[in-house]
Structure 1
Amino acid sequence: MLLPFLLLSFLRAATAQVTVYDQAGQVTLGATGTATSAVVLPTANAYNITVLTPPPVPDPAPPTSFTLELQSEATAVSGLSIPIPGTFWGFSVEMSVITQLFGKNSSFVQVPLLNLWSNIRERAGAVHVRIGGNTQEFAYYVNNLTDGHAISKEQVDSNNPTQTPAVIYTMDLFYLLSNISALVNAHWYVGVPFNDTSDFRFQIVEYSEAILGDYLLGVQVGNEPDLYSAHQHRNSSYSPQNYANEFGELVDAMNAISGQIPVRNNLIAPSVSGTWTPEDVWNTGFITDYLDDLYALAVEKYPTDNCFPEYGIGAFHDPQTEFPDYLNHTAGVALCEPYLNSTAIAQSVGKPFLMFETNSASCGGFPGISNSFGAALWALDYGLQMAFSNFSGAMLHVGGQDVYYNPFTAPPTNQSNLYEWTIGAVYYSALVASEVFGSTNTSRIIDLNANGANIYTPSYAIYENGALARVALFNYITDASGANDYTATISINGGTVPSSVSVKYLTAESVSSINITWAGQTLGAMHEVDGRLSNALDVVTINCDTSANTCAIPVKAPQFALVFLKQEENIATVTYSTSTYTNTRYTVTVASSVLATSNGMSGADWELGSTSSGSNNAAQRTIPFEKIRWSFVFVGLLFLCIVS
């Protein structure tokens, strides 16, 4: 009995002062396992749990019943969009966080990322990803990095408000991307450095074309050139004509090394952010001059900014005051209207028009807004409105630890053995949009101006392969009483409703909630996401009245409903598990919900930083903490061997 006694004594000693992590902070536990203090330490913005107050029910409230009279065939509908791919909502990943999100190098790929993108791939057929952002402008190639990483970070660009670091990359970056593509059919946009027109550093183009092949979609030339002057990357007189001239210099430089860069028509421009309009660039003759060199025309636009709290730039925006602006159909419509002329121009010259970077607010988004169900509804509605406005794709931006708006966030490296990933609200927007449009690349969408064009209850119809296939219904109102739930009755002209329809609901208790489900499934709570959907799939079957040619679809306040008017194929998502470990010393882990130790490492010591804002912190290094779990395992195994 001596060994069991010693084992118990060791366990008591080892757990006498243990730090247990949870979602909102940490507490110190005494020997009894009860909390001896309740000190909540600072956490990174990506894990902020601010909950705002939902706006009151509008006065007057929208009608709670209305009818949608829809045509059965696309040929009978005027105003339909161009064909929209299921990959419409993609992800724009700041180059400086590739190691955190994608993997250390081509040998170690992040499994949760594969699962998250596999979810999209199974619905849309592929996933589109842009790597770049501010960090692409100063990126440069090296033959190798001593730490084995595919990328590293160097000095910070102090002239950029978001203090973005320069990125150093090796050829292994492209093998990392290629390995991800082979698993989840990811297709890529990259950005050529544009800070020095005397040396464009074409290695990122050369190696992307050689290694990624058909997985490379296009190459961005200049990221927000209309902000170059403000960021002191060009002189104060820098103009759209100057940008057009420099674009021409890049084309000439590429032509001079055409043997190294054989693809000649994959450039993306001008990616202006709103200081210049796209027309400012078109008026230089840009499209005519460079039409054969272009893959797509692109812009970048955030609805507003939250730069003041972090950087003292611009005006202060109170999240509670801003929240209602995200919770109605006007938000997406107003963002799209300035680009309707340009999407028409793009169609006339046969080029896609892309929203190359966006999210809820620049400089990292807003606490309480960007991670809320309201943001999920906003991004989904905004995406569908862009599609209706004839955008061909859009990218939700992904930063690091210090932003609120991430679709997904990897845990800090020094806590990756304790925590899993965290999902953001707008990931659900991308997931749902992939089902709205599907994988046929034939879906065309129309804004129905439903319910008297009420801004709180927008609706869309989706035609696939020329026939009515799906209907999308929004309810932005929060009202737990049920008084503002509504019923939309679908009627079909030129055909009849099916005997029943399937409905998937995107649901949360309120627009302020961070707990979201799609068809009854969730990706998990903060720090608990492995990329796989959990819970039973809940697809609601609603019987239709074929004699009256109507289907009545209930939608709660708040909620989104996707109505399938034809039988959909079952979605069987391929998921991935870890087969190789980067940490070969400590591969036995304990679930964080049971016990997670890190010798008191606090949230204040996370030094991973971001991408879109505060990225200078990302370049700093933290000291890895030692764990005591291996001692538990060793002593436990020794005890079992002796008693057996």
Structure 2
Amino acid sequence: MLLCSLALLGSVVTAARAVTVYGQIPLAQTISADPTNTAIVAVKTPPAHSKAELIPQPIPNPPPPAAYTLNLQRDAAAVTGLSVPHVGAGFGGFSIEMSVISQVLGKNSSFIPVPWLNLMANLQERAGSVVVRLGGNTQEYAKLVESNPEPGNTFYKDMSDLQGTTLTPSVHYTKDMFYMASNISALVNVKFFLGIPFDDPVNWRLQIAENAQEILGDNLLGLQAGNEPDFYQLFQRRTVYSPQLYTEELHDLIAKIDANPRIPNKHMLLGPSVGSSIPGVTWTPEQVWETGWIDTFKDRLYAITVEHYPDNNCVAAFGGDGNTPAVIPQEVLSRYITHRAAVDLVSPYQNSGRLAAAAGKPFIMFETNTASCGGFPGISDSFTAALWGVDYGMQMAWSNFTHGMLHVGGQNVVYNPFTAPPTNQSAFNQWTVGPVYYSAIVLAEAFGKSNTSRIVDLWGNAGNVHTPSYAIYERDVLSKVALFNYVNDPSGASTSQVSITIPGGMPTTVKVKYLLADTLVTKSNITWAGQTLGNQLDSDGRFRGALNVTTINCDAGTCVVPVPAPGFALVFLDSTAEQVNVGQATHTFATTARTKAHNTAKVDPTVLATSNGHSGMNRDEGFGSTSVGSISAAPGRSMMLVEGLMTLGAVLAASAWVMRSVFR
């Protein structure tokens, strides 16, 4: 989100022997590359790996009733207020800022991190496919170039081309970016969104549309036309701007697309992607709809998109004007552990959701997370965020959103669904899986692959905001019930006892999967159905531990499901449903690492730059690989060979090849 881009900020990296750290705040320090030097130098931990925890909220006074009943209908025809059917890829997707793509997806098309592939495979197993957006604010100034100064790197940040009031460098990328995305789609079923730069409405740069359609083919879903245009005037990207002027520019863009034979699909734009973050300053979606925008452009759109964060941490992250105090995470923790958080976030978009459904278009929350400018430490990286993400996702789905795209940044943010190690070499550390990734997993299982899932907010337990609940219908029959408990009470006294009844249709047993952690504020040992993706710097993207699915016997047409405090339960009324027995994905990518004798990593302060993702430097500057001689001067595209080799043996062989390419 553009609010994140407020000042130039230095980045820090976790220290390890033989690592050089330049320009560190408050004092630059160098760690000797001499292996005989055993001096220990204290280096600040990047925010993405902080272990600091907040104080849990007390039990609400009065506490929610511990026992309550949900009287449900078996047939969808008897239920009012159901959402549209959720069709296609899993509900939860990811928005990756263009400036940090190399940290997440790899340095080039032959250097794709295996942990990330495993994380996508887990979602594919549950939902069939995954949607990923590559772009953000840094897409607006992105430029296609023949090559970059660092051999073997697809991305480069041009510090001689600083843009806007935030002095954000433009991202230069090579054609290899499209091969990288295509190679990923050949390994796991990932579908992509990209964005057309909107910085120069006179000389449109359409190479991203040309190459994306040519190379990605059906794996390209849509092209964003403008990222948060309601911020363009505020941040001096336009002198004067309005919904009407944005509409006129979109007309001009479409005319250029129509005249371009290299863009055969003329009907895959995304917009208007308004941020709607500052009431009275930025635009509401309704101000855009009043121009006739939907009727005018619906035949040219793949989907209608908006972007929104519930809050921001910009003052703490970048400093302010001296008049606005920084948000204290402990003071806002309570806002994230109530059903009202999800309801209040989504309610402004209910009208837009209805309009999108009437126009026959998907409605996508194209960028969101717990808070812009990196999130709140202790909230965004704790179990609170996992529960909040599931509730928010289900509330969006009920309001006819078809996807919710969680934003991904670098080392200086705390809201990441997943974070690569402080360097891109696993010999130093492993990946960190954030709490909101578990949210995406739960949503994928809740909606499944049937393309018929419809959801309704039950407002159970007399509408108590600490114990929300939803029902999910598939093929017009009740299939799952989602139960939350936002109370933090390790004593067990606040465990909910939820009685589920279905007149004439209750099974004799139900299966339950639990999302659990010790407290709301814990950052470790989060489990889904008894399995975990590891703690900080401890994951290869694969679930660990035995799958634990609870069987609950029903008596006299009633099933009583306990929900720990805190916790979440997904109740499967059909014990034979495919998702019941899904744990670790069957299609995985093995990860190993060798001991290397030549490890040296550095961060050049000239490439540190502000971006949505933060720490969005070119992390490969000056080191590339830690194996001598392993970097080619040309972008690799060998991963394309995997596309026709999807037998089990070929997959394993391809996986081993990817592993060697990434971790050798």
Same fold by TM-score greater than 0.5: yes
- Is 1:74 the counterpart of 2:76? The answer is yes
- The Cα shift of 1:605 comes to 9.0
Contact 1:460/1:472 (<8 A) preserved: yes
Partner of residue 6, structure 2: none
Matches within 5 A, 1:510-521: 510-515=519-524, 516-521=526-531
- Is 1:277 the counterpart of 2:284? The answer is yes
How far apart in 2 are the matches of 1:142 and 1:181?
23
- The Cα shift of 1:617 comes to 4.5
- Is 1:400 the counterpart of 2:404? The answer is no
How far apart in 2 are the matches of 1:606 and 1:481?
52
How far apart in 1 are the matches of 2:602 and 2:156?
25
Partner of residue 25, structure 1: none
| One-letter amino acid of the counterpart of residue 502, structure 2 | I
Distance 1:261 1:315, change over 3 A: farther
How far apart in 2 are the matches of 1:606 and 1:521?
42
Partner of residue 632, structure 1: none
- Is 1:369 the counterpart of 2:379? The answer is yes
- Is 1:134 the counterpart of 2:134? The answer is no
Partner of residue 336, structure 1: 346
Contact 2:603/2:621 (<8 A) preserved: no
- The Cα shift of 1:311 comes to 2.1
Contact 1:505/1:559 (<8 A) preserved: yes
Contact 1:42/1:604 (<8 A) preserved: no
Contact 1:96/1:165 (<8 A) preserved: no
| One-letter amino acid of the counterpart of residue 148, structure 1 | G
Partner of residue 582, structure 1: none
Residue ranges of structure 2 left out of the alignment (5+ in a row): 1-15, 20-30, 32-37, 277-281, 629-664
| One-letter amino acid of the counterpart of residue 180, structure 1 | I
1:297-318 per-position Cα deviation (integer Å, ceiling 9, x unaligned) = 1110000100002222454111
Q: Which has the larger radius of gyration?
A: 1
Distance 1:605 1:204, change over 3 A: closer
Residue ranges of structure 1 left out of the alignment (5+ in a row): 1-17, 22-27, 29-35, 580-586, 591-595, 629-644
Matches within 5 A, 1:299-314: 299-313=306-320
Q: CA RMSD in A?
A: 2.8
More off after superposition, 404-413 vs 374-383: 404-413
How far apart in 2 are the matches of 1:169 and 1:182?
21
- Correspondent of 1:428 among 431, 438, 445: 438
- Is 1:193 the counterpart of 2:197? The answer is yes
1:96-133 per-position Cα deviation (integer Å, ceiling 9, x unaligned) = 11112112211222111110000000000000000000
- Is 1:575 the counterpart of 2:588? The answer is yes
Partner of residue 634, structure 1: none
Matches within 5 A, 1:161-560: 161=166, 164-235=168-239, 237-257=240-260, 259-274=261-276, 275-313=282-320, 315-413=325-423, 415-493=425-503, 495-515=504-524, 516-545=526-555, 548-560=556-568
How far apart in 2 are the matches of 1:113 and 1:209?
24
| One-letter amino acid of the counterpart of residue 444, structure 2 | S
| One-letter amino acid of the counterpart of residue 364, structure 2 | L
How far apart in 1 are the matches of 2:626 and 2:182?
34
- The Cα shift of 1:41 comes to 2.5
SS of residue in 1 equivalent to 2:502: strand
SS of residue in 2 equivalent to 1:83: coil
How far apart in 1 are the matches of 2:619 and 2:106?
17
- The Cα shift of 1:624 comes to 7.9
Identity of aligned residues (%): 51
1:523-544 per-position Cα deviation (integer Å, ceiling 9, x unaligned) = 1111111010001111111111
1:221-271 per-position Cα deviation (integer Å, ceiling 9, x unaligned) = 000111111211111x311111111111101111111x2101011111110
SS of residue in 2 equivalent to 1:451: helix
SS of residue in 2 equivalent to 1:413: coil
| One-letter amino acid of the counterpart of residue 575, structure 1 | T
How far apart in 2 are the matches of 1:542 and 1:409?
37
- Is 1:612 the counterpart of 2:612? The answer is yes
| One-letter amino acid of the counterpart of residue 171, structure 1 | K
- Is 1:83 the counterpart of 2:85? The answer is yes
How far apart in 2 are the matches of 1:449 and 1:415?
47
Partner of residue 119, structure 2: 116
Distance 1:499 1:305, change over 3 A: same
For normalisation by structure 1, the TM-score amounts to 0.86
- The Cα shift of 1:362 comes to 0.5
How far apart in 2 are the matches of 1:419 and 1:411?
6
How far apart in 2 are the matches of 1:207 and 1:624?
26
Partner of residue 572, structure 2: 564
Partner of residue 5, structure 1: none
| One-letter amino acid of the counterpart of residue 100, structure 1 | Q
SS of residue in 1 equivalent to 2:302: strand
Contact 2:598/2:627 (<8 A) preserved: yes
Distance 1:425 1:602, change over 3 A: farther
How far apart in 2 are the matches of 1:604 and 1:480?
46
How far apart in 2 are the matches of 1:549 and 1:137?
57
SS of residue in 2 equivalent to 1:473: strand
How far apart in 2 are the matches of 1:468 and 1:193?
44
How far apart in 2 are the matches of 1:444 and 1:370?
28
How far apart in 1 are the matches of 2:68 and 2:549?
23
- The Cα shift of 1:413 comes to 2.9
How far apart in 2 are the matches of 1:416 and 1:263?
40
How far apart in 2 are the matches of 1:511 and 1:602?
36
How far apart in 2 are the matches of 1:606 and 1:143?
22
Contact 2:511/2:550 (<8 A) preserved: yes
Distance 1:291 1:626, change over 3 A: closer
SS of residue in 1 equivalent to 2:505: coil
More off after superposition, 92-101 vs 137-146: 137-146
| One-letter amino acid of the counterpart of residue 300, structure 2 | D
Distance 1:389 1:277, change over 3 A: same
Partner of residue 148, structure 2: 145
SS of residue in 2 equivalent to 1:114: helix
Contact 1:164/1:615 (<8 A) preserved: no
- The Cα shift of 1:606 comes to 12
Contact 2:336/2:388 (<8 A) preserved: yes
- The Cα shift of 1:283 comes to 0.8
| One-letter amino acid of the counterpart of residue 523, structure 2 | I
Partner of residue 24, structure 1: none
For normalisation by structure 2, the TM-score amounts to 0.83
Distance 1:476 1:297, change over 3 A: same
Contact 2:425/2:626 (<8 A) preserved: no
| One-letter amino acid of the counterpart of residue 168, structure 1 | H
More off after superposition, 604-613 vs 401-410: 604-613
How far apart in 2 are the matches of 1:611 and 1:39?
29
Contact 2:374/2:414 (<8 A) preserved: yes
SS of residue in 1 equivalent to 2:378: coil
| One-letter amino acid of the counterpart of residue 145, structure 1 | N
Contact 1:521/1:536 (<8 A) preserved: yes
